């Protein structure tokens, strides 16, 4: 069999297609390459939100969901939807892992940790409140909440409103206290910046941090406080707050033998704080400070090496794109910088960590800066170098690349930086185009979700730091000059790739080739 014409898939993370140019860094950017491709080659918009990607209707997509749908070629019912269903139909209370935590909490203390927002990317506030309601029903008296504030997948100062909701529900139930309030910057770091994790750990375990009696008032006070760079401490960056009682003592530190439920369903930003609390081999934070013999439960499987009880088991889709490449004997390359490397590997492969045969991976280190508005170029040039070199060598049948800039810089809410981020990606597209010109490739250009396409909340006037529900562009740059479907979503990308490579779709793939071939 002759070798198929190779394919390059370029994912511009966070670059949505918002028709309104106002406060739209994608529209504001000087991007001659992307604009030209959109006009010159077959192009269309595809959906990345709600039921199109296995999320609740109205929920914006994210990088985990996006890459999982792209790589599997089908709609995957996401963990948030599965847990939503359990809350709605009343089966959450019957879950064995949660029942075990509740039973342990009755004789010790029960701690519920998680991102307290309705962002729906890492956690959902309704799930956390559902756990408190379950604790009340099962007679758990000592219940403490460790509330991680969002401001990244939600408006920057929406956390106070969420905490008010939590406090109101706790008062209604007559059980539960907010014990700590911590910005996700510290509690949910995923880049091995252990000094951040340690600050969260010290608040949760040792009661170290800014002390306050009223969590909502303390959070609002944080909004009026500036850091060393002159930026206000909005939800994402809130320094750990420890809630104390009338005597000045922390109301709910995690102690030896306590039960802990981590309500985050997305794994990547849950691992470090989990290791800090549970791993006997981790030197930082110091082991002698860590609570012993915790009954620790997680909503999903954060890592296959963890042995904690899990609320919902992992769903592994069969015959994802990587498996098809393996079966066909195709060599494929996955490359991204650190921030998005798990997405083009683990998530793209349907939640499988190990590479398939023929799959090569190359990660470029992300810059070590506090926030990416300080370096909006990130490591895009290095990622582009990897792609250009791979194209020139000609060894791969499929190249998959993610440029993180639009998403990671979009999350900062800084418009000039987001504009620069999009322009950086556009320059990389130009370099890839030049490398492809003497070759015979098909080039797919798309995104996993929007972000930089809306930088100011139209309702509040605050920075818009979270994802959007706008569709994303899909461009097919090749010598094929037909029309593309207008009803597509992310699940259709893998079938399009397989169509270009001349292979029938696995039965499990429900997506369709985006090309109109009839």
Give residue-wise pLDDT tens across range 62-78: 999 999 999 999 999 99
pLDDT of residue 1: 46
Q: In the predicted model, is pLDDT for residue 129 greater than 60?
A: yes
> With bands split at pLDDT 50, 70 and 90, how would you rate the model's confidence at 3?
low
Please give the distance of CA 367 from its chain centroid, rounded to a whole number.
Answer: 19
Contact, 422 vs 30, CB < 8 A? no
* 514 occurs within a structural domain: no
Q: Indicate if 294 and 398 belong to the same structural domain.
A: no
Residue 311 domain-assigned?
no
Co-location of 182 and 86 in the same domain: yes
> Which pLDDT score, from 0 to 100, does residue 304 have?
86
Evaluate if residue 259 carries a pLDDT over 90. yes
Characterize 168-193 residue by residue with b for buried, 16 or more Cβ atoms within 10 angstroms of its Cβ, and e for exposed. eebeeeebbebbbbbbbbbbbbbeee
Same domain, 401 and 264: no
Residues 35 and 99 in one domain: no
Query: What is the model's pLDDT at position 288?
Result: 77
Confirm whether 380 is domain-assigned.
yes
Range with the lowest mean pLDDT among 24-28, 88-92, 175-179? 88-92
pLDDT one-digit tens code per residue, 427-470: 999 999 999 999 999 999 999 999 999 999 999 999 999 999 99
Helices (H) and strands (E) counted in the chain, each on its own, are 17, 15
Cβ contact 48:471 at 8 Å? yes
Partners of 435 in the β-ladder: none
Q: Are residues 27 and 91 in the same domain?
A: no
pLDDT computed for residue 2 by the predictor: 58
pLDDT at 270 > cutoff 70? yes
Check whether residue 477 and residue 371 sit in a common domain. yes
Q: Which of 72-86, 280-294, 365-379 has the lowest mean pLDDT?
A: 280-294
Residue 305 lies in a domain: no
| Claim to verify: residue 338 and residue 196 sit in the same structural domain | no
Determine the average pLDDT of the residues in 415-423.
99
71 with 92, same domain: the answer is no
Single pTM value for the model: 0.83
**What's the mean pLDDT in 181-205?**
96
510 domain-assigned: no
User: Active-site residues: which are they?
Assistant: 63
CATH number where 276 lies: 3.40.1450.10
Q: What is the CATH number of the domain that holds 399?
A: 3.40.720.10
- Compute the 3-state secondary structure of the chain and give helix, strand, coil in percent, each to the nearest 5: 40, 15, 45
Looking at the fold, whether 57 and 115 belong to one and the same domain comes out as no
- Does residue 487 fall inside a structural domain? yes
Domain tally for the chain? Answer: 2
The answer on pLDDT for 283 being more than 80 is no
- Kindly list the distances between the CA atom of residue 131 and the CA atoms of 70, 145, 180, in Å, as whole numbers in the listed order: 32, 10, 17
Question: 427 and 352, same structural domain?
Answer: yes
In this model, does residue 483 exceed pLDDT 60? yes
Per-residue pLDDT reduced to its tens digit, 376-402:
999 999 999 999 999 999 999 999 999
Question: What percent of the chain lies above the pLDDT cut of 90?
Answer: 92
**Residue 130 domain boundaries:** 80-298
The answer to which of 24-28, 226-230, 448-452, 491-495 has the lowest mean pLDDT is 226-230
330 and 461 part of one domain: yes
Is residue 36 located within the same domain as residue 105?
Answer: no
């Amino acid at each position: 069999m002759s070798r198929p014409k190779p394919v390059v898939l370029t994912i511009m993370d966070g670059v949505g297609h918002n028709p309104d140019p106002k406060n739209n860094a994608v529209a504001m950017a000087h991007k001659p390459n992307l604009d030209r491709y959109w006009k010159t080659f077959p192009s269309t918009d595809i959906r990345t939100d709600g039921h199109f990607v296995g999320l609740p209707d109205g929920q914006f997509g994210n990088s985990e969901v996006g890459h999982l749908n792209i790589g599997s070629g089908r709609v995957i019912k996401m963990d948030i939807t599965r847990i939503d269903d359990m809350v709605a139909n009343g089966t959450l209370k019957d879950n064995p892992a949660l029942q075990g935590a509740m039973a342990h909490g009755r004789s010790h203390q029960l701690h519920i940790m998680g991102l307290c927002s309705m962002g729906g990317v890492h956690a959902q506030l309704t799930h956390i409140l559902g756990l408190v309601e379950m604790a009340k029903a099962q007679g758990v008296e000592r219940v403490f909440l460790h509330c991680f504030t969002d401001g990244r997948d939600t408006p920057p100062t929406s956390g106070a409103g969420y905490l008010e909701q939590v406090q109101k529900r706790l008062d209604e139930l007559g059980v539960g206290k907010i014990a700590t309030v911590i910005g996700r910057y510290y509690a949910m770091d995923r880049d091995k910046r252990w000094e951040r994790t340690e600050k969260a750990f010290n608040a949760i375990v040792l009661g170290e941090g800014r002390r306050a009696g009223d969590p909502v008032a303390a959070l609002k006070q944080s909004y009026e406080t500036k850091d060393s760079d002159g930026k206000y401490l909005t939800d994402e960056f809130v320094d750990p707050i420890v809630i104390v009682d009338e005597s000045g003592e922390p109301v709910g530190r995690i102690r030896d033998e306590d039960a802990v439920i981590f309500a985050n369903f997305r794994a990547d930003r849950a691992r470090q704080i989990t290791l800090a609390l549970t791993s006997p081999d981790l030197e930082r934070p110091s082991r002698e400070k860590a609570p012993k013999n915790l009954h620790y439960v997680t909503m999903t499987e954060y890592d296959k090496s963890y042995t904690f009880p899990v609320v919902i088991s992992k769903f592994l889709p069969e015959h994802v794109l990587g498996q098809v490449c393996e079966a066909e004997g195709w060599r494929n390359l996955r490359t991204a910088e650190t921030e998005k490397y798990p997405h083009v590997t683990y998530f793209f492969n349907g939640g499988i960590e190990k590479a398939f045969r023929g799959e090569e991976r190359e990660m470029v280190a992300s810059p070590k800066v506090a926030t990416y508005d300080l370096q909006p170029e990130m490591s895009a040039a290095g990622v582009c170098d990897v792609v250009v070199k791979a194209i020139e060598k000609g060894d791969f049948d499929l190249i998959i690349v993610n440029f993180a800039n639009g998403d990671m810089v979009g999350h900062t809410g800084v418009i000039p930086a987001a504009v620069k981020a999009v322009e950086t990606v556009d320059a990389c597209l130009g370099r890839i185009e030049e490398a492809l010109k003497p070759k015979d490739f098909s080039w797919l250009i798309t995104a996993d979700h929007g972000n930089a396409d809306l930088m100011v909340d139209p309702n509040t006037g605050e920075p818009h730091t979270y994802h959007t529900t706008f569709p994303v562009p899909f461009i097919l740059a090749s010598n094929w000059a037909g029309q593309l479907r207008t009803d597509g979503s992310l699940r259709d990308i893998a079938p399009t790739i397989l169509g270009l490579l001349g292979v029938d779709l696995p039965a499990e793939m429900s997506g369709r080739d985006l090309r109109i071939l009839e």
